[in-house]
Amino acid sequence: MSDDMDIKDKAAWDAAERVADYEHGWSSDIETDFAPKGLTEDTVRFISAKKNEPEWMLEWRLKAFASWKTMTPPDWAKLNVPPIDYQDAYYYAEPKAKPKLGSLDEVDPEILRIYEKLGIPIAEQKLLAGVEGGEDGGLPQPRVAVDAVFDSVSVATTFRAELERAGVIFRSISEAIKEYPELVKKWLGKIVPMHDNYFATLNCAVFSDGTFVYIPEGVRCPMELSTYFRINAENTGQFERTLIIADKGSYVSYLEGCTAPMRDENQLHAAVVELVALDDAEIKYSTVQNWYPGDAEGKGGIYNFVTKRALCQGRNSKVSWTQVETGSAVTWKYPSCVLNGENSVGEFYSVAVTNNYQQADTGTKMIHNGKGSRSTIVSKGISAGHSNNTYRGLVRVAPNAEGVRNFTQCDSLLLGSLSGAHTVPYIEVRNPSAQIEHEATTSKISDDQMFYAMARGLNTEEAVTLIVNGFAKEVLQQLPMEFAVEAQKLLGISLEGSVG
């Protein structure tokens, strides 16, 4: 891979080498693009200074960092993760020389291969890869506003004007901290508390950038909002931070998608996503996660420790999480809903694919505090190769939450005989009026199904893709159209080489 390391990577790498050699006084030198390797209070100050943050933000970060030093990583997940050396990583990388490439020829061929397999239109490929002119030619329809995060800094935002006319604020979180400090202060860390867990606390200290969305009262966001994440520079931990606020009676659909290039060294990713929905508001949050999963022998790949939580604060508020998780060597992720509002609704639709030596421990928590709150959980786990795939879910009903309902369905599909599927449901009901239903199945792709599809003209890979998509249909159909097609193809790509 290092042979075709692109120009930008090389520049960033060189800059890092220079900084790493420079022992003293670096924290005041905010002209550099890289924070040196390692994590100290100075790293935190460097990041904050780089971003010209107000004092309150720096203090918040430092408080988190002080706590983090006293914490230990969670060990309850069914994951086998080697100890991570937090001092052996970079915590901030800004692609100063922006990826202004002349044409797609200059983009990493592996990334292009995946784009092509995904069927992403050329215009959008250019936009994603940061090719000059890609933005003008891009995305006439479907209408998606893209906020691309390259490494740690947002480099492209489109459709901003139209969103502004509707009163929608769609910004990088760094900008929002400066432009809308009151809104940010009101909700940042209120949904996922600073000390929630080891990875969330780490994120508070060193988050690099991310997205901020505010939908004003009564506004239906006029387009899908979308962020594409990519990790570009080697050894750079990714600490995205997202905050979405849906004011009374508003609606927004948000798409988060990732494609990551091949990298040998493990990379840490610890994002925090906070959503809040007030009275009658609705947020639909869809994710396609395709970080580098490591190679067929289990070498390399992203460690993905994500904390995603939604506060359904208002009455009749609704949050729907849909995720298609195909990438990462390790996935630790439980998008949850705290259903405080009366008659509020939480939904979790998930497809998690693991192949080769990937490990996923993912699921949701539905915390029913509001009267009449309802939740639906549909989880589809697909395990191939030597991988392990665990659904872990909690449904909790508070003592004075009358009339709560939950429906949970967990289905596992096994390919081959070496992979594992596990279901760990926790149910804590403290109000007798609750109606809780749980269904679970485990199945295999049968030889009959494979041969039937092949006899009609599909090759092995196409047949697996078709059958797996059928298995995951209930979840995939929750995705916005333009995303669903991409996700279907992604399932096939992730299972390449798993059968036959």
Whether the CB-CB separation of 421 and 392 falls below 8 Å is answered with no
CB of 441 to other proteins, least distance (A): 11
Applying CB under 8 A, the site for other proteins has a residue count of: 22
Site map 122..151 versus other proteins, x via CB under 8 A: ------------------------------
- C-beta closer to other proteins: residue 56 or 452: 452
Query: Which one of the spans 15-23, 301-309, 414-422, 441-449 is the region binding other proteins (CB under 8 A)?
Result: 441-449
Query: Would you say 161 or 455 has its CB closer to other proteins?
Result: 455
How far is 37 from 20, CA to CA, in rounded Å? 7
Give the residue with the Cβ less far from other proteins, 58 or 458.
458
Q: Which of 120, 244, 472, 479 binds other proteins (CB under 8 A)?
A: 472
DSSP strand E in 151-200: where?
Answer: 153-157, 169-172
Residue of 239, 336, 362, 229 lying closest to 290 (CA atoms): 229
User: Of 49-57, 163-171, 189-197, 457-465, which part binds other proteins (CB under 8 A)?
Assistant: 457-465
Scan for tokens 């904050």, then name that residue. Answer: 48
447 lines the binding site for other proteins (CB under 8 A): yes
Rounded to a whole number of angstroms, the minimum distance from the CB of residue 361 to other proteins is 25
Distance CA 7, CA 283 (A): 39
Minimal distance, residue 460 CB to other proteins, in Å: 8
Query: Are 292 and 262 in contact, with CB atoms under 8 Å apart?
Result: yes
Q: What is the spatial distance between Cα 247 and Cα 278, in angstroms, rounded to a whole number?
A: 5
Per CB under 8 A, does 121 bind other proteins? no
Region from 119-127, 162-170, 427-435, 453-461 binding other proteins, contact rule CB under 8 A = 453-461
Decide whether 345 or 467 has the Cβ nearer to other proteins.
467
Nearer to other proteins, 59 or 462 (CB): 462
Alpha-carbon gap, residue 309 to 287, rounded angstroms: 14
Provide the minimum distance between the beta carbon of 500 and other proteins in the complex, in angstroms, as a whole number.
8
For residue 255, give both structure tokens. Answer: 């798409």
CA distance 353 to 364: 16
481 is an interface residue for other proteins by CB under 8 A: no
* 474 makes contact with other proteins (CB under 8 A): yes
| 62: its two tokens | 């430092």
Query: Taking the mean position of all CA atoms in its chain, how far away is CA 192?
Result: 15
| Residue number, 85 or 462, with CB nearest to other proteins | 462
Q: Does 455 bind other proteins (CB under 8 A)?
A: yes
CB of 420 vs other proteins, minimal distance in Å:
22
Contact indicator for 435, 311 with CB cutoff of 8 Å: no
The amino acid that residue 20 corresponds to is A
Indicate which single residue of 87, 400, 435, 459 sits in contact with other proteins (rule: CB under 8 A).
459
**Selected binder of other proteins within 219, 324, 466, 491 (CB under 8 A):** 466
Q: Which residues pair with 364 in a beta bridge?
A: 393
Kindly state whether residue 439 participates in binding other proteins, applying the rule CB under 8 A: no
Q: Which of residues 329-358 bind other proteins (CB under 8 A)?
A: none
CA 261 to chain centre: 16
411's CB contacts (< 8 A; 6+ apart) are: 379, 380, 381, 440, 441, 442, 443, 471
Cα 446-447-451 angle, rounded to 5 deg: 125
For other proteins, the binding residues (CB under 8 A) are: 446-449, 451-459, 462, 466-467, 469-474
